[in-house]
């Protein structure tokens, strides 16, 4: 790109040279305002307002509970199936929302990106944070239910849940940056992401236990299945929240904490890749939007 080899005089910088994700955290104040704006604006003009954040997962939960828990009899097969179901669903909802909004974030904020320079990673990052804000009340409901049915939180369980949240947050941000950057030139990206998100719920042991996968597929496929960071996060939630409320006879995937480390590593690789692609493409954002 550069033709000039002349040195940059001291004190000068190139406008528009972005520090990437680092730049986002350097401008935390702006990030906090953007997140607050998104949170405020989201349900503005609706009567139920933020209650929608509860209504949607509740309806989703009821549908799956009736279809799978009652009709397909998973309720009898797994102890406290409602907790099993809900603790997994909230992880998927967090991922889905962060990833999907992150993918659309650049295009949605096009008018701003075209006119004023700011670290554009700001938008996928804020999508993840907004999704997290939305996820918190759902997590709270799960925690309360677990405590009521006799959960005594252990440090390791809490760490597992936090690692699960971290994996999903990083993964969704990385994927959001990757597909969001591509989405500027190719709107196919957001449709492709919708497709991925359709599969994601079924590709992780949310509605059914992972043991059914183990019993039905060859070992290599099971390993692929268990390498999915979202699956790892879901199992960390099951291990931390649901399992302690049961008699503990359920078998978790072997080496769960090792898998958590690998899942975290994958999420970090994805975020690095997302940043790389984002930087490559961001020079064209202002002219392609």
Is 277 among the residues that bind another protein (CB under 8 A)? no
- Which is nearer to another protein, 46 or 154 (by Cβ)? 46
Part in contact with another protein (CB under 8 A); list of ranges 31-39, 47-55, 74-82, 154-162: 31-39
Judged by CB under 8 A, the chain residues 193 through 212 that form the site for another protein are none
Q: Does 2 bind another protein (CB under 8 A)?
A: yes
Q: In the Cβ-directed half-sphere of 124, how many Cα atoms lie within 13 Å?
A: 31
Number of residues that bind another protein (CB under 8 A): 35
Stretch of residues binding another protein (CB under 8 A), selected from 13-21, 88-96, 157-165, 175-183: 13-21
The answer to whether residue 148 forms part of the interface with another protein (CB under 8 A) is no
The HSE-up count of residue 182 (CA atoms within 13 Å, CB side) is 16
Q: In the structure encoding, which two tokens stand for residue 67, read together?
A: 């279809």
Token code pair at residue 279: 């930087």
- Which has the closest alpha carbon to 174: 111, 263, 258, 113? 263
Contact 224, 203 (CB under 8 A): no
15 vs 218 by CB, closer to another protein: 15
Touching another protein, residues 57-86 (CB under 8 A)? none
Interaction of residue 47 with another protein, rule CB under 8 A = no
283 binds another protein (CB under 8 A): yes
Using only C-alpha atoms, the chain has a radius of gyration, in whole angstroms, of 21
Distance CA 4, CA 146 (A): 63
48 binds another protein (CB under 8 A): no
Contact residue for another protein among 19, 117, 158, 261 (CB under 8 A):
117
Choose one: 23-31, 96-104, 218-226, 267-275; the region binding another protein (CB under 8 A).
Answer: 23-31
| Nearest Cα to Cα of residue 107 among 18, 26, 189, 173 | 189
Of 97, 235, 71, residue with least CA distance to 160: 235
Residue 4 binds to another protein (criterion: CB under 8 A): yes
- Cα separation of 190 and 178, whole Å? 11
Neighbour count for residue 61 (Cβ, 10 Å): 18
Nearer to another protein, 119 or 164 (CB): 119
Residues at the site binding another protein, with contacts judged by CB under 8 A: 1-4, 6, 8-9, 11-17, 27, 29-30, 33-34, 37, 40-41, 44-45, 111-118, 283, 286-287
């Amino acid at each position: 790109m550069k033709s000039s080899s002349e040195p940059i005089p001291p004190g000068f910088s190139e406008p528009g040279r972005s520090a990437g994700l680092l730049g986002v955290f350097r401008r935390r104040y702006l990030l906090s305002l953007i997140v607050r704006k998104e949170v405020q604006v989201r349900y503005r003009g609706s009567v139920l307002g933020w209650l929608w954040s509860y209504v949607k997962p509740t309806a989703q939960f009821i549908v799956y509970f009736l279809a799978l828990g009652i009709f397909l009899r998973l309720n009898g097969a797994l102890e406290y199936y409602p907790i099993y179901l809900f603790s997994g669903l909230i992880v998927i909802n967090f991922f889905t929302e962060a990833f999907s909004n992150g993918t659309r974030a650049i295009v949605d904020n096009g008018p701003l990106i075209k006119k004023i320079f700011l670290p554009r990673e700001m938008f996928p990052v804020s999508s993840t944070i907004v999704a997290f804000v939305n996820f918190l009340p759902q997590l709270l409901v799960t925690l309360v239910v677990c405590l009521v049915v006799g959960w005594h939180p252990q440090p390791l369980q809490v760490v597992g849940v936090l690692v699960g949240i971290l994996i999903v947050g990083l993964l969704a941000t990385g994927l959001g940056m990757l597909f969001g950057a591509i989405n500027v030139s190719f709107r196919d990206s957001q449709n492709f992401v919708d497709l991925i998100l359709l599969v994601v719920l079924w590709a992780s042991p949310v509605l059914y236990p992972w043991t059914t996968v183990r019993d039905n597929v060859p070992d290599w496929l099971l390993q692929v299945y268990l390498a999915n960071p979202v699956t790892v996060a879901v199992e960390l939630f099951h291990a931390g929240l649901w399992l302690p409320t049961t008699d503990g006879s359920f078998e978790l995937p072997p080496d769960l904490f090792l898998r958590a480390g690998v899942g975290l590593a994958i999420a970090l690789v994805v975020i690095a890749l997302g940043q790389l692609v984002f930087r490559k493409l961001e020079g064209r954002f202002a002219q392609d939007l």
